[in-house]
Structure 1
Amino acid sequence: MYLFALSTAEQGASMALFEENTLVFESRLFSRQTHSKGLLPMIEQAVESREGMTVDRIDGFIAARGPGSFTGLRIGISMVKGLARAVSKPCAGVSSLDGIAFRFCYSQKPVCVMMDAKRKEVYSAIYQFHRGRLLQKGPEMVCSPETAIDQAGSEALFVGSGSKVYRETIYSRTHDKGVLSTPSMDGVSACALVLSALSDEGVFDFKNHPLNPVYLRKSDAQIHFEEKTGA
Protein backbone atom coordinates (compact mmCIF):
# COMPACT_ATOMS: atom_id res chain seq x y z
CA MET A 1 0.00 0.00 0.00
CA TYR A 2 1.27 3.44 -0.94
CA LEU A 3 0.28 6.59 0.96
CA PHE A 4 1.03 10.11 -0.20
CA ALA A 5 0.92 13.11 2.17
CA LEU A 6 1.22 16.85 1.64
CA SER A 7 1.34 19.82 3.98
CA THR A 8 1.03 23.42 2.86
CA ALA A 9 -0.06 24.65 6.28
CA GLU A 10 2.95 26.93 6.66
CA GLN A 11 5.21 28.98 4.43
CA GLY A 12 7.13 25.91 3.29
CA ALA A 13 5.64 22.72 1.89
CA SER A 14 6.30 19.15 3.00
CA MET A 15 5.65 15.99 1.00
CA ALA A 16 6.09 12.28 1.78
CA LEU A 17 5.48 8.92 0.14
CA PHE A 18 5.12 5.74 2.22
CA GLU A 19 5.13 2.11 1.13
CA GLU A 20 3.32 0.21 3.88
CA ASN A 21 4.89 1.63 7.07
CA THR A 22 8.15 2.65 5.42
CA LEU A 23 9.05 6.16 4.31
CA VAL A 24 10.41 5.93 0.75
CA PHE A 25 10.46 9.61 -0.22
CA GLU A 26 10.39 12.92 1.64
CA SER A 27 10.85 16.44 0.37
CA ARG A 28 10.52 19.95 1.79
CA LEU A 29 10.20 23.22 -0.07
CA PHE A 30 11.22 26.51 1.54
CA SER A 31 10.15 29.41 -0.65
CA ARG A 32 8.43 32.77 -0.40
CA GLN A 33 6.66 32.00 -3.67
CA THR A 34 3.13 30.68 -3.62
CA HIS A 35 2.86 26.94 -2.97
CA SER A 36 1.16 26.36 -6.31
CA LYS A 37 4.38 27.14 -8.21
CA GLY A 38 6.46 24.43 -6.57
CA LEU A 39 4.04 21.61 -5.78
CA LEU A 40 3.72 19.89 -9.15
CA PRO A 41 7.50 19.48 -9.63
CA MET A 42 7.69 18.09 -6.08
CA ILE A 43 4.92 15.58 -6.78
CA GLU A 44 6.62 14.49 -10.00
CA GLN A 45 9.87 14.01 -8.10
CA ALA A 46 8.10 11.92 -5.44
CA VAL A 47 6.50 9.62 -8.01
CA GLU A 48 9.66 9.28 -10.10
CA SER A 49 11.69 8.35 -7.01
CA ARG A 50 10.27 4.79 -7.20
CA GLU A 51 10.99 2.75 -10.31
CA GLY A 52 7.78 1.92 -12.11
CA MET A 53 5.74 4.18 -9.82
CA THR A 54 2.73 6.09 -11.13
CA VAL A 55 0.19 8.27 -9.37
CA ASP A 56 -2.59 5.72 -9.88
CA ARG A 57 -0.62 3.21 -7.77
CA ILE A 58 -1.04 5.43 -4.71
CA ASP A 59 -3.75 3.93 -2.47
CA GLY A 60 -4.58 6.97 -0.37
CA PHE A 61 -3.88 10.68 -0.19
CA ILE A 62 -3.49 12.75 2.98
CA ALA A 63 -3.36 16.51 3.43
CA ALA A 64 -2.75 18.75 6.42
CA ARG A 65 -6.23 20.18 7.06
CA GLY A 66 -5.17 22.97 9.40
CA PRO A 67 -4.78 25.02 11.37
CA GLY A 68 -2.30 27.14 9.46
CA SER A 69 -2.06 29.55 6.55
CA PHE A 70 -5.55 30.07 5.13
CA THR A 71 -4.34 30.37 1.53
CA GLY A 72 -1.73 27.62 1.89
CA LEU A 73 -4.25 25.15 3.28
CA ARG A 74 -6.70 25.75 0.44
CA ILE A 75 -3.97 25.17 -2.16
CA GLY A 76 -2.72 21.93 -0.59
CA ILE A 77 -6.18 20.51 0.06
CA SER A 78 -7.32 21.32 -3.48
CA MET A 79 -4.20 19.67 -4.89
CA VAL A 80 -4.71 16.46 -2.88
CA LYS A 81 -8.43 16.31 -3.65
CA GLY A 82 -7.66 16.73 -7.35
CA LEU A 83 -5.05 13.97 -7.37
CA ALA A 84 -7.32 11.59 -5.45
CA ARG A 85 -10.28 12.25 -7.72
CA ALA A 86 -8.17 11.85 -10.86
CA VAL A 87 -7.20 8.28 -9.89
CA SER A 88 -10.40 7.43 -7.97
CA LYS A 89 -8.63 6.90 -4.63
CA PRO A 90 -9.63 8.04 -1.13
CA CYS A 91 -8.26 11.12 0.57
CA ALA A 92 -8.41 12.41 4.14
CA GLY A 93 -7.35 15.31 6.29
CA VAL A 94 -5.04 15.12 9.30
CA SER A 95 -4.47 17.94 11.78
CA SER A 96 -1.47 20.17 11.13
CA LEU A 97 -0.78 19.96 14.86
CA ASP A 98 -0.47 16.17 14.54
CA GLY A 99 2.02 16.82 11.76
CA ILE A 100 4.28 18.43 14.33
CA ALA A 101 3.50 16.37 17.43
CA PHE A 102 4.11 12.96 15.84
CA ARG A 103 7.71 13.97 15.12
CA PHE A 104 8.15 13.60 18.89
CA CYS A 105 6.08 10.46 19.45
CA TYR A 106 8.88 8.87 21.49
CA SER A 107 9.04 11.76 23.92
CA GLN A 108 8.49 10.77 27.52
CA LYS A 109 7.31 14.29 28.28
CA PRO A 110 3.94 15.79 27.34
CA VAL A 111 4.29 17.41 23.91
CA CYS A 112 2.81 20.89 23.63
CA VAL A 113 2.49 22.03 20.02
CA MET A 114 2.49 25.81 19.59
CA MET A 115 2.12 27.08 16.02
CA ASP A 116 2.49 30.82 15.70
CA ALA A 117 -0.98 32.17 14.85
CA LYS A 118 0.07 35.85 14.94
CA ARG A 119 -1.99 38.40 16.92
CA LYS A 120 -0.10 37.24 20.03
CA GLU A 121 -1.82 33.83 19.82
CA VAL A 122 -0.86 30.24 19.06
CA TYR A 123 -2.61 27.20 17.63
CA SER A 124 -2.07 24.56 20.25
CA ALA A 125 -2.80 21.05 21.47
CA ILE A 126 -1.16 18.85 24.10
CA TYR A 127 -0.18 15.24 23.39
CA GLN A 128 0.93 12.34 25.55
CA PHE A 129 2.80 9.49 23.85
CA HIS A 130 4.21 6.20 25.07
CA ARG A 131 6.83 4.38 22.99
CA GLY A 132 5.57 5.89 19.76
CA ARG A 133 1.87 5.42 20.48
CA LEU A 134 -0.55 8.26 21.12
CA LEU A 135 -2.15 7.88 24.53
CA GLN A 136 -4.03 11.14 24.74
CA LYS A 137 -4.59 14.35 22.80
CA GLY A 138 -6.09 17.49 24.27
CA PRO A 139 -8.47 19.78 22.38
CA GLU A 140 -7.14 21.91 19.55
CA MET A 141 -7.41 25.60 20.37
CA VAL A 142 -6.29 29.08 19.44
CA CYS A 143 -5.19 30.85 22.58
CA SER A 144 -2.58 33.04 24.20
CA PRO A 145 0.86 31.43 24.57
CA GLU A 146 0.48 31.78 28.34
CA THR A 147 -2.67 29.63 28.29
CA ALA A 148 -0.98 26.92 26.23
CA ILE A 149 2.08 26.88 28.49
CA ASP A 150 0.05 26.74 31.70
CA GLN A 151 -2.11 23.88 30.40
CA ALA A 152 0.95 21.89 29.31
CA GLY A 153 2.80 22.31 32.60
CA SER A 154 6.40 23.05 33.40
CA GLU A 155 7.73 19.60 32.47
CA ALA A 156 6.46 19.61 28.87
CA LEU A 157 8.35 19.59 25.59
CA PHE A 158 7.34 22.69 23.62
CA VAL A 159 7.47 22.40 19.81
CA GLY A 160 6.34 24.34 16.77
CA SER A 161 7.03 27.82 15.44
CA GLY A 162 5.23 29.46 18.35
CA SER A 163 7.56 27.83 20.84
CA LYS A 164 10.42 29.86 19.37
CA VAL A 165 8.47 33.11 19.07
CA TYR A 166 7.50 32.82 22.74
CA ARG A 167 10.68 31.15 23.98
CA GLU A 168 11.24 33.61 26.81
CA THR A 169 7.62 33.32 27.93
CA ILE A 170 8.02 29.54 28.12
CA TYR A 171 11.19 29.79 30.19
CA SER A 172 9.62 32.38 32.47
CA ARG A 173 6.34 30.55 33.14
CA THR A 174 8.01 27.13 33.57
CA HIS A 175 10.86 28.54 35.71
CA ASP A 176 13.36 27.30 33.09
CA LYS A 177 12.03 23.72 33.30
CA GLY A 178 10.32 23.71 29.91
CA VAL A 179 12.24 22.02 27.08
CA LEU A 180 12.21 23.28 23.49
CA SER A 181 12.82 21.32 20.31
CA THR A 182 15.47 22.30 17.79
CA PRO A 183 14.16 24.86 15.24
CA SER A 184 14.58 22.45 12.34
CA MET A 185 11.91 20.19 13.89
CA ASP A 186 9.25 22.88 14.28
CA GLY A 187 7.50 22.61 10.92
CA VAL A 188 4.51 20.50 9.92
CA SER A 189 5.93 17.27 8.49
CA ALA A 190 4.15 15.22 5.83
CA CYS A 191 5.91 12.19 7.26
CA ALA A 192 4.37 12.87 10.67
CA LEU A 193 0.94 13.28 9.04
CA VAL A 194 1.25 9.71 7.77
CA LEU A 195 2.39 8.47 11.18
CA SER A 196 -0.72 10.03 12.67
CA ALA A 197 -2.90 8.49 9.97
CA LEU A 198 -1.36 5.03 10.46
CA SER A 199 -2.24 5.22 14.15
CA ASP A 200 -5.93 5.54 13.20
CA GLU A 201 -7.46 2.64 11.29
CA GLY A 202 -10.42 4.77 10.27
CA VAL A 203 -8.44 7.65 8.79
CA PHE A 204 -10.15 7.33 5.41
CA ASP A 205 -13.59 7.34 7.01
CA PHE A 206 -14.71 10.72 5.70
CA LYS A 207 -17.26 11.23 8.48
CA ASN A 208 -14.42 11.35 11.01
CA HIS A 209 -11.63 12.74 8.81
CA PRO A 210 -13.20 14.96 6.14
CA LEU A 211 -10.76 16.75 3.91
CA ASN A 212 -11.98 20.25 4.66
CA PRO A 213 -9.87 23.09 6.05
CA VAL A 214 -9.93 23.62 9.81
CA TYR A 215 -8.89 27.16 10.64
CA LEU A 216 -9.79 27.34 14.37
CA ARG A 217 -10.51 31.05 13.97
CA LYS A 218 -11.87 33.53 11.44
CA SER A 219 -9.64 34.98 8.74
CA ASP A 220 -8.53 38.62 8.86
CA ALA A 221 -10.68 39.31 5.79
CA GLN A 222 -13.77 37.88 7.48
CA ILE A 223 -13.10 39.81 10.68
CA HIS A 224 -12.66 43.08 8.75
CA PHE A 225 -15.82 42.38 6.74
CA GLU A 226 -17.85 41.77 9.91
CA GLU A 227 -16.47 44.90 11.51
CA LYS A 228 -17.48 46.98 8.47
CA THR A 229 -20.93 45.44 8.10
CA GLY A 230 -21.71 44.89 11.76
CA ALA A 231 -22.42 41.23 11.10
Structure 2
Amino acid sequence: MRILAFETSAKAASVALLEGDMLLGELYLNCGLTHSRTLLESAQRLLEITELTAKDIDAVACAAGPGSFTGVRIGVAAAKGFAWGRDIPCCGVSTLEAMAWQASEFSGIVCCAMDARRSQVYHARFLAENGTLTRLCPDCAVSLDEVRLALENCEKPKIMVGDGAQLCYNTFGTEISGCMLAPEHRRMQRASGVALAARRLLGEGADCSGAALAPNYLRLSQAERERAERLRTSKESVNG
Protein backbone atom coordinates (compact mmCIF):
# COMPACT_ATOMS: atom_id res chain seq x y z
CA MET A 1 0.00 0.00 0.00
CA ARG A 2 1.26 3.47 -0.90
CA ILE A 3 0.42 6.19 1.64
CA LEU A 4 0.84 9.89 0.87
CA ALA A 5 1.17 11.86 4.12
CA PHE A 6 1.01 15.58 5.02
CA GLU A 7 2.48 17.27 8.13
CA THR A 8 1.47 20.91 8.64
CA SER A 9 0.92 21.16 12.39
CA ALA A 10 3.87 23.48 13.11
CA LYS A 11 6.26 25.91 11.41
CA ALA A 12 7.71 23.35 8.99
CA ALA A 13 5.68 21.50 6.37
CA SER A 14 6.49 18.12 4.89
CA VAL A 15 5.12 15.49 2.55
CA ALA A 16 6.10 11.81 2.58
CA LEU A 17 5.36 8.72 0.51
CA LEU A 18 5.44 5.32 2.21
CA GLU A 19 5.14 2.00 0.39
CA GLY A 20 4.87 -0.92 2.78
CA ASP A 21 7.92 -0.64 5.04
CA MET A 22 9.84 1.56 2.62
CA LEU A 23 9.93 5.34 2.72
CA LEU A 24 10.02 6.20 -0.98
CA GLY A 25 10.61 9.88 -0.37
CA GLU A 26 10.02 12.90 1.84
CA LEU A 27 10.14 16.65 1.21
CA TYR A 28 10.64 18.88 4.27
CA LEU A 29 10.39 22.67 4.11
CA ASN A 30 11.22 24.97 7.00
CA CYS A 31 11.74 28.17 5.04
CA GLY A 32 9.01 30.38 6.48
CA LEU A 33 6.60 30.10 3.54
CA THR A 34 2.96 29.43 4.36
CA HIS A 35 1.83 25.84 4.12
CA SER A 36 -0.95 26.77 1.70
CA ARG A 37 1.75 27.89 -0.77
CA THR A 38 4.03 24.87 -0.48
CA LEU A 39 2.07 21.76 0.52
CA LEU A 40 0.34 20.66 -2.67
CA GLU A 41 3.27 21.79 -4.80
CA SER A 42 5.53 19.62 -2.64
CA ALA A 43 3.17 16.65 -3.01
CA GLN A 44 3.15 17.04 -6.77
CA ARG A 45 6.94 17.30 -6.85
CA LEU A 46 7.33 14.20 -4.69
CA LEU A 47 5.09 12.20 -7.00
CA GLU A 48 7.09 13.39 -10.01
CA ILE A 49 10.41 12.45 -8.41
CA THR A 50 9.16 8.96 -7.54
CA GLU A 51 7.62 8.61 -11.03
CA LEU A 52 4.14 8.09 -9.64
CA THR A 53 0.79 9.83 -10.12
CA ALA A 54 -2.21 10.43 -7.90
CA LYS A 55 -3.75 7.25 -9.32
CA ASP A 56 -0.93 5.23 -7.74
CA ILE A 57 -1.76 6.37 -4.20
CA ASP A 58 -3.80 3.94 -2.08
CA ALA A 59 -4.37 6.13 0.99
CA VAL A 60 -3.71 9.67 2.19
CA ALA A 61 -2.96 10.82 5.73
CA CYS A 62 -2.42 14.02 7.67
CA ALA A 63 -1.54 15.22 11.15
CA ALA A 64 -4.99 16.11 12.51
CA GLY A 65 -3.79 17.86 15.64
CA PRO A 66 -2.94 19.11 18.09
CA GLY A 67 -0.91 21.93 16.65
CA SER A 68 -1.25 25.25 14.87
CA PHE A 69 -4.95 25.81 14.23
CA THR A 70 -4.34 27.18 10.74
CA GLY A 71 -1.70 24.59 9.90
CA VAL A 72 -3.86 21.66 10.97
CA ARG A 73 -6.80 22.97 8.95
CA ILE A 74 -4.61 23.21 5.84
CA GLY A 75 -3.39 19.64 6.23
CA VAL A 76 -6.87 18.26 6.87
CA ALA A 77 -8.31 20.13 3.87
CA ALA A 78 -5.50 18.90 1.61
CA ALA A 79 -5.98 15.29 2.70
CA LYS A 80 -9.73 15.43 2.26
CA GLY A 81 -9.41 17.03 -1.17
CA PHE A 82 -6.85 14.50 -2.37
CA ALA A 83 -8.88 11.53 -1.13
CA TRP A 84 -12.30 12.80 -2.22
CA GLY A 85 -11.77 12.54 -5.96
CA ARG A 86 -10.35 9.01 -5.80
CA ASP A 87 -12.47 7.60 -2.96
CA ILE A 88 -9.46 6.26 -1.05
CA PRO A 89 -8.87 6.00 2.73
CA CYS A 90 -8.17 9.34 4.41
CA CYS A 91 -6.46 9.02 7.81
CA GLY A 92 -6.18 11.73 10.41
CA VAL A 93 -3.54 10.81 12.98
CA SER A 94 -2.44 12.33 16.26
CA THR A 95 0.39 14.80 15.69
CA LEU A 96 1.95 13.60 18.93
CA GLU A 97 1.83 9.93 17.95
CA ALA A 98 3.26 10.77 14.53
CA MET A 99 6.27 12.50 16.09
CA ALA A 100 6.76 9.55 18.46
CA TRP A 101 7.33 7.31 15.43
CA GLN A 102 10.45 9.38 14.71
CA ALA A 103 11.97 7.76 17.81
CA SER A 104 10.33 4.32 17.62
CA GLU A 105 13.72 2.55 17.55
CA PHE A 106 14.52 4.00 20.99
CA SER A 107 14.04 1.63 23.92
CA GLY A 108 12.15 3.42 26.66
CA ILE A 109 9.71 6.32 27.03
CA VAL A 110 9.14 8.70 24.15
CA CYS A 111 7.99 12.04 25.59
CA CYS A 112 6.23 14.13 22.93
CA ALA A 113 5.83 17.87 23.44
CA MET A 114 4.60 20.76 21.32
CA ASP A 115 4.72 24.34 22.53
CA ALA A 116 1.08 25.28 23.18
CA ARG A 117 1.92 28.75 24.57
CA ARG A 118 0.26 30.05 27.74
CA SER A 119 2.85 28.05 29.80
CA GLN A 120 1.54 24.74 28.43
CA VAL A 121 2.61 22.02 26.03
CA TYR A 122 0.59 19.54 24.03
CA HIS A 123 1.83 16.26 25.42
CA ALA A 124 1.66 12.48 25.17
CA ARG A 125 3.95 9.63 26.19
CA PHE A 126 4.62 6.31 24.48
CA LEU A 127 6.58 3.19 25.38
CA ALA A 128 8.93 2.28 22.53
CA GLU A 129 9.97 -1.37 22.34
CA ASN A 130 11.40 -3.27 19.37
CA GLY A 131 10.27 -0.63 16.89
CA THR A 132 6.67 -0.50 18.14
CA LEU A 133 4.82 2.09 20.21
CA THR A 134 2.37 1.65 23.08
CA ARG A 135 0.45 4.73 24.17
CA LEU A 136 0.78 5.53 27.88
CA CYS A 137 -1.53 8.56 28.12
CA PRO A 138 -4.01 10.46 25.96
CA ASP A 139 -3.09 13.62 24.07
CA CYS A 140 -3.47 16.55 26.45
CA ALA A 141 -2.55 20.19 27.05
CA VAL A 142 -0.66 20.37 30.35
CA SER A 143 1.84 22.48 32.25
CA LEU A 144 5.58 21.83 32.19
CA ASP A 145 5.38 20.82 35.85
CA GLU A 146 2.92 18.04 35.00
CA VAL A 147 5.28 16.67 32.35
CA ARG A 148 8.17 16.86 34.80
CA LEU A 149 6.21 14.92 37.43
CA ALA A 150 5.27 12.18 34.97
CA LEU A 151 8.89 11.68 33.91
CA GLU A 152 10.33 11.87 37.42
CA ASN A 153 8.18 8.89 38.41
CA CYS A 154 9.45 6.75 35.53
CA GLU A 155 12.62 4.67 35.83
CA LYS A 156 12.96 3.80 32.12
CA PRO A 157 15.21 5.78 29.75
CA LYS A 158 13.40 8.80 28.31
CA ILE A 159 13.77 10.73 25.05
CA MET A 160 12.05 14.04 24.23
CA VAL A 161 10.71 14.82 20.75
CA GLY A 162 8.65 17.60 19.17
CA ASP A 163 9.02 21.35 18.75
CA GLY A 164 8.43 21.74 22.50
CA ALA A 165 11.08 19.19 23.46
CA GLN A 166 13.86 21.79 23.74
CA LEU A 167 11.69 23.89 26.08
CA CYS A 168 11.00 20.89 28.31
CA TYR A 169 14.61 19.75 28.31
CA ASN A 170 15.96 23.20 29.10
CA THR A 171 13.44 23.61 31.93
CA PHE A 172 13.88 20.29 33.72
CA GLY A 173 15.35 17.62 31.46
CA THR A 174 18.89 17.78 32.81
CA GLU A 175 17.55 17.21 36.32
CA ILE A 176 15.85 13.90 35.46
CA SER A 177 17.86 10.70 35.38
CA GLY A 178 18.00 8.93 32.02
CA CYS A 179 16.41 11.82 30.10
CA MET A 180 17.79 12.92 26.72
CA LEU A 181 16.84 15.26 23.90
CA ALA A 182 16.40 13.67 20.47
CA PRO A 183 18.68 15.01 17.71
CA GLU A 184 16.92 17.60 15.58
CA HIS A 185 16.43 15.38 12.53
CA ARG A 186 14.55 12.94 14.80
CA ARG A 187 12.93 15.57 17.00
CA MET A 188 10.67 17.66 14.77
CA GLN A 189 7.31 16.70 13.31
CA ARG A 190 7.69 15.02 9.92
CA ALA A 191 5.30 13.53 7.38
CA SER A 192 7.13 10.19 7.49
CA GLY A 193 5.90 9.79 11.08
CA VAL A 194 2.37 10.62 9.93
CA ALA A 195 2.62 7.89 7.30
CA LEU A 196 3.80 5.32 9.86
CA ALA A 197 0.97 6.21 12.25
CA ALA A 198 -1.53 5.97 9.39
CA ARG A 199 -0.17 2.57 8.39
CA ARG A 200 -0.91 1.32 11.89
CA LEU A 201 -4.46 2.68 11.77
CA LEU A 202 -5.15 1.13 8.39
CA GLY A 203 -3.76 -2.18 9.59
CA GLU A 204 -6.13 -2.10 12.56
CA GLY A 205 -9.13 -1.47 10.30
CA ALA A 206 -9.88 2.01 11.69
CA ASP A 207 -12.51 4.23 10.08
CA CYS A 208 -10.26 6.21 7.73
CA SER A 209 -12.77 8.16 5.68
CA GLY A 210 -12.79 11.78 4.64
CA ALA A 211 -16.18 12.19 6.29
CA ALA A 212 -14.78 11.04 9.64
CA LEU A 213 -11.65 13.20 9.46
CA ALA A 214 -11.79 16.31 11.64
CA PRO A 215 -9.14 18.48 13.35
CA ASN A 216 -8.38 17.78 17.01
CA TYR A 217 -7.24 21.04 18.58
CA LEU A 218 -7.44 19.87 22.23
CA ARG A 219 -8.43 23.36 23.36
CA LEU A 220 -10.38 26.36 22.10
CA SER A 221 -8.80 28.91 19.78
CA GLN A 222 -8.06 32.39 21.11
CA ALA A 223 -11.11 33.79 19.31
CA GLU A 224 -13.34 31.10 20.84
CA ARG A 225 -11.88 31.72 24.31
CA GLU A 226 -12.48 35.46 23.99
CA ARG A 227 -16.04 34.87 22.82
CA ALA A 228 -16.71 32.53 25.75
CA GLU A 229 -15.30 35.11 28.15
CA ARG A 230 -17.52 37.84 26.68
CA LEU A 231 -20.57 35.62 27.02
CA ARG A 232 -19.67 34.76 30.61
CA THR A 233 -19.12 38.41 31.50
CA SER A 234 -22.39 39.41 29.82
CA LYS A 235 -24.30 36.70 31.67
CA GLU A 236 -22.80 37.74 35.03
CA SER A 237 -23.72 41.37 34.30
CA VAL A 238 -27.34 40.42 33.58
CA ASN A 239 -27.60 38.18 36.62
CA GLY A 240 -25.87 40.73 38.83
TM-score, L = length of structure 2: 0.88
**Paired letter, 2:50:** R
Higher Cα radius of gyration: 2
CA contact (8 A) 1:5 1:61 kept: yes
Could you tell me which runs of 5 or more consecutive residues in structure 2 were left unpaired when the two chains were aligned.
236-240
Find the residue that maps to 1:205 and give its secondary structure. Answer: coil
**Paired letter, 1:199:** R
**Paired letter, 2:168:** Y
Find the counterpart in structure 2 of residue 22 from structure 1: 22
- Is the counterpart of residue 33 in structure 1 residue 46 in structure 2? no
Find the residue that maps to 1:97 and give its secondary structure. Answer: helix
Find the residue that maps to 2:173 and give its secondary structure. Answer: helix
Aligned-pair RMSD on alpha carbons? 2.0
**Paired letter, 1:88:** D
Find the counterpart in structure 1 of residue 122 from structure 2: 123
Find the counterpart in structure 2 of residue 164 from structure 1: 166
Shift of 1:173: 4.7
Please say which of residues 62-71 and 103-112 is displaced more in the overlay: 103-112
| CA distance in structure 1 between the partners assigned to 2:108 and 2:5 by the alignment | 27
**Paired letter, 1:119:** R
Q: Decide whether aligned partners of structure 1 residues 197 and 40 sit closer, same or farther in structure 2, where only a CA change above 3 A counts.
A: closer
Find the residue that maps to 1:72 and give its secondary structure. Answer: helix
| CA distance in structure 1 between the partners assigned to 2:129 and 2:225 by the alignment | 40
Q: Deviations over 1:46-65 (max 9, x none)?
A: 110122x2102201000100
Find the counterpart in structure 1 of residue 213 from structure 2: 211
Find the counterpart in structure 2 of residue 99 from structure 1: 98
TM-score, L = length of structure 1: 0.91
Q: Deviations over 1:8-63 (max 9, x none)?
A: 00011111011222111101111323211111220111110122x21022010001
Q: Decide whether aligned partners of structure 1 residues 135 and 227 sit closer, same or farther in structure 2, where only a CA change above 3 A counts.
A: closer
Find the counterpart in structure 2 of residue 88 from structure 1: 87
Aligned residues with identical type, % of pairs:
32
Find the counterpart in structure 2 of residue 202 from structure 1: 204
Q: Decide whether aligned partners of structure 1 residues 203 and 224 sit closer, same or farther in structure 2, where only a CA change above 3 A counts.
A: farther
**Matched positions, count:** 228
CA contact (8 A) 1:6 1:14 kept: yes
Find the counterpart in structure 2 of residue 10 from structure 1: 10
CA contact (8 A) 2:103 2:186 kept: no
Shift of 1:184: 3.3
Q: Higher helix fraction: Structure 1 or Structure 2?
A: 2
Could you tell me which runs of 5 or more consecutive residues in structure 1 were left unpaired when the two chains were aligned.
none
Shift of 1:204: 4.7
| CA distance in structure 1 between the partners assigned to 2:174 and 2:129 by the alignment | 28
